[in-house]
Amino acid sequence: MATQMIETSAPATRNGLDLVQMTQTVEAIQARPMLAQFQFRARNRWVNGGENRSTIRDFYGAGAEDASRDAAFEFTNGEPPVLLGDNEGANPVEFLLHALAGCVTTTTVLHAAARGITIRSLSTELEGDIDLHGLLGLDEAVPAGYREIRIRMKIDADCSEEELDSLLEFAKGHSPVCTTVCRPVPVVLERVRP
Amino acid sequence: MATQMIETSAPATRNGLDLVQMTQTVEAIQARPMLAQFQFRARNRWVNGGENRSTIRDFYGAGAEDASRDAAFEFTNGEPPVLLGDNEGANPVEFLLHALAGCVTTTTVLHAAARGITIRSLSTELEGDIDLHGLLGLDEAVPAGYREIRIRMKIDADCSEEELDSLLEFAKGHSPVCTTVCRPVPVVLERVRP
């Protein structure tokens, strides 16, 4: 992360991020690397058919259990009629696109702030291709997941085109969700006896 | 996908899924494989700092643009204070866990229905580890994404332990989100001039 965060003449915030807190976070991690270890969590309960509901609240990070959330976030997965549901919610592969869009955006905004770049606007459109032969087990040669995901980003900022290209390449490579999608990440599924 | 869906004495639904529609979907795809091609989409707009918002509505699948949703789903990504936010929403890596939980659950429920297994209850707890050295670019040897994600599932169904183990192994390998996480999926980030 760049040193431009620590200019004494810098504004207190850039892109809505507190630059002093950003700098302190980086310095704290450099002094005590274990502060960088986070564990995120979700609990989910099946409702019926393609409907299920998650609650998300606690996580571990920066050396402690977080206690900042008064209530849990709740999200409902559903399926459209063509996938045997009733649009009870967006479906899981759509939530994945939401997660990816948000993570690439936040990573871009964060590293822009660190580089002294002010972003005026940023929006994305995502699309991803899935072949149902995979999910349905009709062709074992077809992976069930996305074949490819494309992100089209519109971004307006106070820097050169070259600086924007460099920023976006860096953000793509350092976004946690994008990296989770682009690289193979082990998922362990363990059955717990009720 | 198994043949037990087509028993004439079978119930109309199993696990909340319409067995006739399931069978018709599989038969339609076997007759016209292009019906299995789906494209899912999301649009996202940066708000400020770590806050951004997605709208999800249209998708392409089963040979047509879907028109079943009267309104778009909206979801807000945020960050907790320790990650420079104000808990405006769950954060993107938490939404990824929600997507993964939902997808493994729905894939399990679907293939259980196809195998003639009735599920009485199903819940999951997920946790995933992230080292912020990756996101912050403090150590290029540390991937920004999840190092590993663990799913603990409680499931109660009218089948043997061996059938449950077989079902879960199949569901994990055929869940679109799980497969997207476990395998490397290309993400293309393209900048569109505003």
User: Looking up tokens 């955006």, which residue turns up?
Assistant: A105
Cα separation, A115 vs B183, whole angstroms: 32
Cα separation, A119 vs A106, whole angstroms: 11
Cα separation, A67 vs A85, whole angstroms: 36
Mutate to test the interface with A, among B22, B29, B35, B52 (most CBs of A within 10 A): B52
Beta partners for residue A13, in sequence order: A18
User: Looking up tokens 């993570």, which residue turns up?
Assistant: A103
pLDDT tens string B70-109: 999 999 999 999 999 999 999 999 999 999 999 999 999 9
Cα separation, A84 vs A89, whole angstroms: 13
Mean pLDDT of B131-158: 98
Cα separation, A14 vs A109, whole angstroms: 9
| Structure tokens belonging to residue A43 | 């609990």
A14 close contact with B: CB closer than 8 A? no
Got the DSSP string for A76-125? EE---GGGTS--SS--HHHHHHHHHHHHHHHHHHHHHHHHTPPEEEEEEE
Contact B84 A37 (CB under 8 A): no
β-pair type (A13-14, A17-18):
antiparallel
Plot region of A28 (φ>0 → left; ψ -120 to 50 → alpha; else → beta): alpha
A18, A82, A181 ranked by CB distance to B180: nearest: A181
B136 contacts in chain A (CB < 8 Å): 1, 25-26, 29, 36, 174
Cα separation, A192 vs B155, whole angstroms: 8
β-pair type (B73-77, A119-131):
unpaired
B20 close contact with A: CB closer than 8 A? no
Q: How confident is the model at residue B10 (pLDDT cuts 50, 70, 90)?
A: low
A123, A138, A151 ranked by CB distance to B46: nearest: A123
Beta partners for residue B119, in sequence order: B157
Cα separation, B41 vs A150, whole angstroms: 10
A61 contacts in chain B (CB < 8 Å): 82-83, 132
Neighbour tally for A152: CB within 10 Å: 15
Contact B174 A17 (CB under 8 A): no
Residue pair B90/B98 in contact (Cβ under 8 Å)? The answer is: yes
A48 contacts in chain B (CB < 8 Å): 15-16
What pTM value is reported for the model?
A: 0.96
**First-to-last C-alpha distance (Å) of chain B:** 46
Q: Which residues contact B12 (CB under 8 A, 6 or more apart)?
A: B18, B19, B20
| Statement: residue A41 has pLDDT above 90 | yes
Contact A123 B44 (CB under 8 A): yes
| Structure tokens belonging to residue A114 | 């660190």
Residue A8: its pLDDT value, please?
54
DSSP state of B6: G
How far does the CA of residue B58 sit from the closest CA of chain A (Å)? Answer: 10
A59 contacts in chain B (CB < 8 Å): 80, 94
B162 contacts in chain A (CB < 8 Å): none
| A residues 31-90 closer than 8 Å to B (CB) | 33, 35-46, 48-52, 54, 56, 59, 61-62, 66, 68-69, 73, 75, 77, 79-84, 87, 89-90
How far does the CA of residue A30 sit from the closest CA of chain B (Å)? Answer: 8
A28 close contact with B: CB closer than 8 A? no
A130 contacts in chain B (CB < 8 Å): 37-40, 176
A132 close contact with B: CB closer than 8 A? yes
In chain B, DSSP assigns E strands to 13-14, 17-18, 37-48, 51-56, 59-61, 64-65, 73-77, 119-131, 149-157, 187-191
| Structure tokens belonging to residue A86 | 């009733």
pLDDT tens string B14-65: 999 999 999 999 999 999 999 999 999 999 999 999 999 999 999 999 999 9
Q: How confident is the model at residue A89 (pLDDT cuts 50, 70, 90)?
A: very high
pLDDT tens string A50-81: 999 999 999 999 999 999 999 999 999 999 99
Residue B3: its pLDDT value, please?
44
In chain A, DSSP assigns E strands to 13-14, 17-18, 37-48, 51-56, 59-61, 64-65, 73-77, 119-131, 149-157, 187-191
Q: Which ipTM score applies to this complex?
A: 0.96
Spatial CA neighbour of A58 closest among B133, B127, B84, B99:
B127
Residue B11: its pLDDT value, please?
75
How far does the CA of residue B149 sit from the closest CA of chain A (Å)? Answer: 5
A131 close contact with B: CB closer than 8 A? yes
| Statement: residue A6 has pLDDT above 80 | no
Residue A3: its pLDDT value, please?
44
Cα separation, B92 vs A97, whole angstroms: 10
